[in-house]
Structures are given as C-alpha cells and as structure tokens.
Structure 1
Amino acid sequence: MSRLANKTALITGGTSGIGLETARQFIAEGARVAITGSSAASIENARKELGEKALVIQADAGNADGQKAVADAIKNAFGHLDILFVNAGIAEFNPLEQWTEAAFDKSIAINVKGPFFLIQALLPLFAKGAAIVLNTSINAHIGMPNSSVYSLTKGALLTLAKTLSGELIGRGIRVNAVSPGPIATPLYSKLGSSEAESKAMTSHIQSQIPTGRFGEPSEVAKTIIFLASDEAAYIVGSELIIDGGMSNL
C-alpha cells in the first residue's frame, strides 16, 4: 500500500517497540522516515533493521535544547515534515513515598518537556496538511497504583494534543493522540525487579484485559498510520484508545 507516499515522517523513540514497528510500517506505506534513539546500541540495531530506508538520529528526548538539533537534521534531510509521531518516553512506577525530585524531573523532561520543545522547534518545517500524533496511555484515564508520575506525564500529553489541535489547525496541522493499553514491548519486562516478579505483574495485568491478551506493536502502528494519513483529514484533537477494552472496566 502507499497511504503515506511522498510524505516525510519523524518518529521519536523509533529504535524499539511501537516506534520501530511504526517506522517499518511507515516505510512500507511509502514514507521517507527519520527516527530518534538515545542509546548507541539501540541505534545500531535500528540501522541494521531498517538499513538505508531510514535516517537514524541520536538524541536525548529529555534535553529541551537538543530538540533544535533534531529539527536541523530533519530540515537538512527532508526540507519539510509531514508527520511527527511523538513516541519517546520513559515509564517508571513507584509508590508515592519512594519518588525523588530527580526521578520526577527526569520523567517530566522526557515525557513532556522534550516533546513540547521538539514540536516548537519543528514548527517552521511542518507542511500544510501535516499530522502530529502523540503517544499517550490509558494510564491517563485509570487509577493504576504506583503510576502517579507516569500517568501525570501521559495526562499532560493528552491535554497537549487537545490544546495544540486548536492552536495549530489554522496552520493546516492536525494534532491527535493514541492511548495504548498493555502492549507486548520491552517495557513490560522491566516493571518487576526479577523475572518472577515481572511474570507475576504481566499475568496480573493480562487478567484485567477483556480481550485476554496484550496488544501487538503492529496494532498500534496501524492506528498511527491512519491518523497520519489523508484518510484522517477530518480528525482533529481526538484520542484513539488501543487497550483491548481495559479502560472500560
């Protein structure tokens, strides 16, 4: 298919999980793709996976000043931008009493501050009809224990999707959000401190999903393609929840 033919796209956090799968599918749909990643190892793996079909940019998603360098790289490579998928993020889960100011600030920087200033830096590059998709979470809607800071940041992104949709539509830029529930990515293997604890936690989460399974990155990527494509030209400031019915319980 070629729903994204002749479009340019940037995916932050595109070296693994949902980001990498979205990059694969964007390329298959005809887009020219750039991705960002923070670690040298993940960047090398993404280069091997995507080859010359994607521009890979090393960037710290939580460094507000560094977002200008990402925008410069996009300008030099593409000249303009049609699609931005803000996917880079961090998920840390702790009881309220265990949070430190440093850990709090890190989550805010990576999940909210960096994305905000990336969009600002890219603003002159967005073509008319451009689409921005923010990756939020069902945690913005449900009261999951130990998720206070993560949920706070995802709620902020969801609000940003709504406010920027009103602010940027006059420039021909659509802003929407996807809110995945539990997706089979490396994130969930890191939630417990041991293999046994991780298995117990994932089993508990799965028991709360009406469909009885975790979602696949490809299922999220297909939704993002739709929102980024011209098929969604009349969808502005919306949120698509992809959680197997979990948030309806």
Structure 2
Amino acid sequence: MTSLNGKIAVITGGNSGIGLAAATLFASEGADVVITGRRQDALDAAAQAIGPKATVVQGDVADPAHHERVAALVADRFGRADIYMANAGVNTITASHAVSEEEYDAQFGINARGTFFGVQKIVPILRDGGSIILVGSLASEKVLDGHAVYAGTKAAIGAFARSWALEFKTRRIRVNMLSPGPTETAILEKLGVPATERGSFIDMMAGAIPLGRLGQPEELARAALFLASDASSFVTGINLRVDGGMALL
C-alpha cells in the first residue's frame, strides 16, 4: 500500500501517541515524514521506530521561530511539503477556579498558538492541493470536568480549520479537523493517573463510550491517513470525530 508515495508529511508531536502512530503509518504508505517534539531522546527513539523515512526536528511548538526552522529544513531537503498535521498538544485537568496563569498559558501556547504559527509558517511551502490536519478533541464540543481551558484551545483550533478551509481554497489546500475521544496513549500517565489505578480509570472511561472501550493510536492514525490522502480529495472543513460515539452521550 503506497497511498502517500512520494509525499512529504510534517507532524508536530510526532514522537509519541497519535502523532507517532500517524508518522509510522504515513511512512509505511510511502511518505517521507518530518516529526517534531520537545525531547531529543524521544524523537530519536521515534525515528528508529519509524525507519529511514523519518527526519526529526527538536523544538517548542509555542515558539514561532521553531516553525520557521521546520519550514526551512523541509524546503531545503525536500523542496515542499504535501501534508501538515498539527498534532502536538497538552492537557491539564483542573477545575476553573484552580487554573493557574502558567497552566492557562501553557495550554493555549502549545495547543492554539503552536497550531496557528505552525500552519502560518508551513503554508508558503505547502503544495497546492495539499492537506492540513488539525488535531482537535471531543472536549471542544462535549463538556468534561476540569477541561475548560483545554476545551477552549481545541475550540480555537476548530475555528482555525473552518477559516483556513476557505482562506486557502484558491490553492485547493484542504483543511480538516480530527477530533479524538479518549485514546490509550501515554497521556494517561501525564494526566497523573497512577499505574495502580490505570485499569479502573480506563474501565470508567470505557463505560462512557458507546463502543465500550478507549481508542487506539493506530485507529486515529488511519483516520488521519484518510484526511491526508486522495481518499478524501473532496473533503474540506470537516470535524472528523473518532471517539467511539462518545459525543452522542
């Protein structure tokens, strides 16, 4: 299968979770993938897992200068990009009354600012007819405890997607949002769920999902592949929910 043969894909936060699963799948489908992340050791491990079609760039997505470096590297090495997946994100579950300025700024900085300036810097070298995938969240539409700030960042991303789908229409660049529901990734640990409670936490979350389980990173990656490839050539401006039906409840 080579649905992305010859394509150049850039994936932020491509060193773990959904980003790594997408990078691995895109590479297996023939794409050269450029992945970004904050930790060099995690990027190196991801590159080894993906294989020779991976290039890594370390940096902070909240810094526009990082995106300038990524775009310059892609232009120099490949001449263009075909696919841009803004995947990097953080979530801190905190009731609104307890949210610190630092938590607020970190989430908006990485999730919203990082997405906006990543797209701004990559679009000049993105091929006409290319694909932009913005990773949103179920939380932007469904109220979840302690997710007010995170939901706000993802709602902003939805607004970006709709605006850009029209703004870039003359270049036939498709812009879509991919909204995961609860997915079994390392983010569960980052949310502070102790290893001893992880099983019960997953069972609790699964009980709120019509399909009765959490999603797997590979399932989100296959949805991203649809949006990245010509299989979705007449699709733009949508919010593709991959949440096991959780948004219905």
Q: Distance in 2 between matches of 1:51 and 1:192?
A: 31
SS of residue in 2 equivalent to 1:129: strand
Aligned 8 A contact 1:181 1:215 in 2:
yes
Query: What is the CA distance between 1:193 and its match in structure 2?
Result: 5.1
Q: Distance in 1 between matches of 2:117 and 2:152?
A: 18
Note the 1:10-21 alignment, pairs <5 A. 10-21=10-21
- Give deviations 1:200-242, integer Å, cap 9, x for gaps: 4333211101111111111111111111111211101011100
- Mind listing any 5+ residue stretches in structure 1 that lack a counterpart? none
Aligned 8 A contact 1:59 1:70 in 2:
no
Please tell me whether residue 207 in structure 1 is matched to residue 194 in structure 2.
no
Aligned to 1:154: 154
Note the 1:38-77 alignment, pairs <5 A. 38-77=38-77
Query: What is the CA distance between 1:64 and its match in structure 2?
Result: 2.2
Q: Distance in 1 between matches of 2:189 and 2:236?
A: 34
Aligned to 2:115: 115
Q: Distance in 2 between matches of 1:246 and 1:139?
A: 10
Note the 1:138-217 alignment, pairs <5 A. 138-192=138-192, 194-217=194-217
Aligned 8 A contact 1:188 1:202 in 2:
no
Query: What is the CA distance between 1:51 and its match in structure 2?
Result: 3.1
Query: What is the CA distance between 1:197 and its match in structure 2?
Result: 4.7
Identical residues among aligned pairs (%): 37
* Total equivalences in the alignment: 249
Aligned to 1:237: 237
Compute the RMSD of aligned alpha carbons: 1.3
Instruction: Give the letter for the 1:59 counterpart.
Output: G
Query: What is the CA distance between 1:52 and its match in structure 2?
Result: 2.0
Instruction: Give the letter for the 1:121 counterpart.
Output: K
SS of residue in 2 equivalent to 1:89: coil
TM-score normalised according to structure 1 size: 0.96
Aligned 8 A contact 2:86 2:118 in 1:
no
Note the 1:61-100 alignment, pairs <5 A. 61-100=61-100
Q: Distance in 1 between matches of 2:193 and 2:244?
A: 26
Moved more, 79-88 or 194-203: 194-203
Aligned to 1:227: 227
Instruction: Give the letter for the 1:152 counterpart.
Output: G
SS of residue in 2 equivalent to 1:52: coil
- Mind listing any 5+ residue stretches in structure 2 that lack a counterpart? none
Q: Distance in 1 between matches of 2:174 and 2:105?
A: 29
Query: What is the CA distance between 1:246 and its match in structure 2?
Result: 0.7
Q: Distance in 1 between matches of 2:112 and 2:64?
A: 10
SS of residue in 2 equivalent to 1:65: helix
Q: Distance in 1 between matches of 2:244 and 2:156?
A: 23
TM-score normalised according to structure 2 size: 0.96
SS of residue in 2 equivalent to 1:212: coil
Query: What is the CA distance between 1:199 and its match in structure 2?
Result: 4.1
Query: What is the CA distance between 1:140 and its match in structure 2?
Result: 0.6
